[in-house]
Amino acid sequence: MITGKNYIGNEMSAIGSVRFKTMDPKMNSENEWTCFEATTKEIHSSVDKAWKAFKVFRNTSQVQRSTFLNAIADEIEALGDVLLDTYCKESGLPKGRAIGERGRTIFQLRTFADLLESEDWKLASHDAAIPDRQPTPKLDLKKTVIPLGPVAVFGSSNFPLAYSTAGGDTASALAAGCPVVVKSHPMHAGTGELIASAVIRAAKRTKMPDGVFSNLNSKGIEVGIELVNHPKIKAVGFTGSIKAGRALFDIANARPEPIPVFAEMGSINPVVITQNALISNGPKWAEAYAHSIVLGAGQFCTNPGLILAIDSEALSKFTDQLAEKIATLDPMCMLHPKIKAAYSNLKLELTAQNGVEVISNEVHTEKNYADQTIATVSGTQFLLNPKLHAEVFGPFSIVVKCRDQQQLLQIIGGLEGQLTGTILAEKEDSETLTELVDELQQRVGRLIYNGVPTGVEVCPSMNHGGPYPASTDARFTAVGTDSIRRWVRLVAYQNFPFHLIPNKL
């Protein structure tokens, strides 16, 4: 049952007067449950509990934390259809997507549990002393990592499970030994509460300290601001818009003790198609990219929002095929009326820019359903207008008709940081792609060859991040086992007795 209350560690609380309801975007009506926004007192209580829990949790063994993560996965699975139904009511996404995302969430938790079976992820090292080295003796040095402290995790709008309450940020932080305080996303607070209840049951079952996990509701931005400003919060995980991510980054850096904010934010994910690919496989790529653009109503951070190619008859055929194919695909409901409104407004703003031509705009009368849209613009106009670089969060993509290869490279070099960059090419292009690859990899975190950017595999080799504003720190990934490195710091022990080193090397 959804109570709408906050989890302050193991205790449920609802002492505030600010209440709100989540929306069912398909029905365009409020859901039945009422949620209570966390008060300042509840925020402070959750962080104080997290800080107290940290003193115990940071010294738990990796076996204990692995058991905890597996228990969370078990408890989420045990929620059954209640979780799936709530997910659908709060997101407008289909049940198949809910099942898939639940599976990914469980997989992430078990992946980090498996990671903790070994100490290898710590990259510990030992330089033994050489006391008789001349002219100066060498000291004994051991190096490892330790957890940062309580982490504030912000749930994302577009992934109510995999990037939210017990998603990748939470799983990796708990694996590292950091307690987590979640600022639940207001669009899926009911889903968040159900997941939070699973985490708390797992914590109790595995005897984790009270405060290792808390879940706070919020209607607006105030809870998040207070949380990031709290001196006992030592890091932040965020997935969302550039505006919100940058605001949190600035708040965290203005603190007396600045803390890292690992924010994964906006991206238009440029796709470059060679002339040979257009001629040989234009229809194939038009169909693949129509599906990629529309997938999940375009509400993915890896949605291909920018397609680049040299202007030609083959490109004109491709754009016509893309427009025709995307018109045949069923529309999808967007996550919330506010997200649909933002999509419509930004799309209108971009398509009204000089030189932009709309070649497909499927208008749907259903409330909150997305109108998938393809537009084109010349490379010259794109270079003149930075507004065309904006991410349109939804099923929208703009095809840029470049004058020549030099202009194409100039456009890539002028782009902001991106999560992904894709090259669609043929074998005969291989000798001509070196400069393109070199330019593209300076702007993106993941390079794709002959594929689509949508879909992010959870595995050690994945990188989900990129130069700003794709993320606030391009050195780290938000997906995969290496994402645990966001929540730890290096410590060296010089001439230290082995028995005094916490969590022995």
Residues with catalytic annotation? Answer: 264, 301
Please give the backbone phi and psi of residue 402, each rounded to the nearest 5 degrees, phi first: -80, 145
Are 269 and 408 in contact by the 8 Å Cβ rule? The answer is no
Are 90 and 190 in contact by the 8 Å Cβ rule? The answer is yes
Residue of 103, 115, 120, 102 whose CA lies nearest to 65: 115
Q: How far apart are CA 31 and CA 29, in angstroms?
A: 7
Q: How far apart are CA 6 and CA 214, in angstroms?
A: 8
Cα dihedral sign, 439-445-451-454: negative
Q: How far apart are CA 87 and CA 97, in angstroms?
A: 10
Q: How far apart are CA 206 and CA 199, in angstroms?
A: 11
> Can you spell out the DSSP letters for 204-248?
HHTTPPTTSEEEE--SSSHHHHHHHH-TT--EEEEES-HHHHHHH
Give the tokens for residue 151. 């982490």
Are 144 and 491 in contact by the 8 Å Cβ rule? The answer is yes
Q: How many CA atoms lie within 13 A of 458 on its CB side?
A: 22
Residue type, 159: F
In three-state secondary structure terms, 389 is helix
Helices (H), 79-188: 81-91, 95-115, 168-176
Residue of 495, 475, 2 whose CA lies nearest to 262: 475
Tell me 486's DSSP state.
Answer: G
CA 156 centroid distance within chain:
7
Give the tokens for residue 169. 């940020």
C-beta contacts of 438-444 below 8 A and 24+ residues apart: 439/409, 439/412, 439/413, 440/270, 440/272, 440/412, 442/413, 442/467, 443/270, 443/412, 443/413, 443/415, 443/416, 443/417, 443/418, 443/467, 444/270, 444/417, 444/418, 444/419, 444/420, 444/470
Cα–Cα–Cα angle for 443, 449, 454, rounded to 5 degrees: 75
H or E segment to which residue 7 belongs: strand 6-8
Distances (CA, A) of 88 to 22, 99, 109, 242, 373: 12, 10, 22, 26, 25
Residue of 248, 28, 52, 66 whose CA lies nearest to 175: 66
